[in-house]
Structure 1
Amino acid sequence: MGEPAAAFYARRGNAVSDWWTLLHPPYTAWHLSYVALGAAVAPALDWTDLAFTLLAFFLAVGLAAHALDEQQGRPLRTGIASTTLSAVAALSLLGAVVLGLAGAFFRDGANWALLAAIPVGAVLVVGYNLELFGGRLHNDHVFAWGWGGFPVVVGFLAQAPTPAPGAVAAAAAMTLAAVGTSYAQRRLSTPARRLRRDTVSITGDLTTTDGTAVPLDRAVLLSPLEGALRAMSWAVPMTALAVLLASSSRG
């Protein structure tokens, strides 16, 4: 089998292609959507707070996390220099922390819950992507909670909500929903990555009940995995947009 692209969204050929691939556009949009969903279930929606929270997560997840991950064995096979990746990771994570501190202290008083989330986010980005602590943070469960549940919680907290029981319950339910879809993403993307990046050959047939033999190859095995990932990568952002619009219309 010929060498496939590192991911279904990956591009090759020039620096623009490398940066596009590094940003993981479908997945970055997917996980930024969790921030929006958290904000949308707050009692009142402040679009400025949401914009800065989205920017902070883009810096932390879209840039810093992906730059650190690419330094670990070059899984995306980009030509971006290691020094550039290190600089992007450091500056992006610093920018995310600064934005978090600004949100915690300089908008309508101190937001202590948001402040507490800042070091948690920094540890998740660095620990997960560099596989620190013996890789204990690099697993399906940490991914589901760190890349799914955590953005919902921070999106909610950044709105500085009043502790109304209904809003807290809604945020808790949305957090669990994000954990579930992120866990599903991980369970789909892990075998897809293995097929694209670590598989040399595939042999065998699938025989149906009517006796038809379907030869198995990379494309056959990838199709249901990446078909589901593609669908979810636009369905979750569209869900976030719908919930935001509904929240805004209620005023």
Structure 2
Amino acid sequence: MVVSFTVIGSVLAPDLHWDRVIAIAFIYFLGLGIGAHALDALGSKAKKPWGDVFGKRQLWLMAGCSLAAAYLVAAYFMVRFVPNLIFIALVEGFFVFAYNLEWFDGRYHTDGWFAFSWGFLPVLAGYVMQTNTLSVAVIAVALSMALFSLVEIKASRPYKALKQCGGGLGDADRALMIRYEAILKSISLGVIVLGMGLLLFRVFD
């Protein structure tokens, strides 16, 4: 979803630079898809999202390498083309640690901050990567994607709790888990298809 958010933000720009579309998607794939998830596995006070598949040293290595690579790519574009991207990079850098490692007693590990950092900001990042500025329209679209992210995380938490119960669920809880799963799949696929559709629109426009 987050990679799709960057694409959605990118294609809203009047003039599209395809190398920057690929770059911002790659940055978020590394930073969030690998780095943030590795940190989440390190910082989670509840059940670890990746279980015991990776040790602490491996997780720190994954997080460090992926985040370093993401920021190196971002730095190239910030220095050469889009200096204003640095503001989003700094805020996202804060949240990648504060949210996933649950700093400040988990104050930033909330559904609202999740929607802001992984829904709202990626759309802005995609647009800023293209234009080095913001617009009222992209802020409105970013807000809508943040709301989709909020629905996703609200459904994800009870779904994970029910799934952890395994075979001990009753019929009602099992039906509820299936409903949450359908919501999560629908939102995720909907956002991905939206991103692909807008991208195809710009390709053939």
The answer to whether TM tops 0.5 is yes
Task: Report the equivalent of 1:3.
Answer: none
SS for the counterpart of 1:33 is: helix
User: 2:54 is matched with which residue: 56, 63, 80?
Assistant: 80
Query: Does structure 1 residue 188 correspond to structure 2 residue 144?
Result: no
Go from structure 1 to structure 2 and tell me whether the alpha carbon gap of 1:142 and 1:96 turns closer, same or farther (over 3 Å shift). same
Contact kept in structure 2, 1:192 and 1:225, CA below 8 Å: yes
> Is the CA contact (8 Å cut-off) linking 2:162 and 2:169 kept in structure 1?
no
Checking the alignment, whether the CA contact within 8 Å between 2:127 and 2:133 is kept in structure 1 is: no
Deviation for aligned residue 1:182: 0.3
Unaligned runs of 5+ in 2: none
Counterpart residue type for residue 28 of structure 2: F
**Structure 1 equivalent of residue 35 of structure 2:** 64
1:159 aligns with 2:126: no
What's the counterpart of residue 174 of structure 1? 141
Q: Which residue pairs with 2:88 in the alignment?
A: 117
Cross-structure match for 2:116: 145
Counterpart of 1:169 in structure 2: which amino acid?
A: V
RMSD: 1.8
Q: Which has the larger radius of gyration?
A: 1
Q: Shift in Å at residue 200 of structure 1?
A: 8.4
Matched, 1:50 2:5: no
Aligned pairs, number: 202
Shift of 1:97: 1.2
Letter in structure 1 aligned against 2:140: A
The one-letter amino acid paired with 1:244 is L
Tell me the TM-score normalized by structure 1.
0.75
1:216 aligns with 2:172: yes
Percent of aligned pairs with the same residue?
28
Q: Give the match for residue 98 of structure 2.
A: 127
SS at match of 1:158: helix
Higher helix content, 1 or 2 = 2
Residue 106 (1) aligns with residue 62 (2): no
Question: Quick one: distance in 2 between partners of 1:75 and 1:97?
Answer: 25
Secondary structure, counterpart of 1:112 in structure 2: coil
In the alignment, structure 1 segments of 5+ residues that lack a partner are: 1-29, 204-214
Asked if 1 retains the 8 angstrom alpha-carbon contact of 2:34 and 2:62, the reply is yes
> C-alpha distance in 2, partners of 1:114/1:99?
12
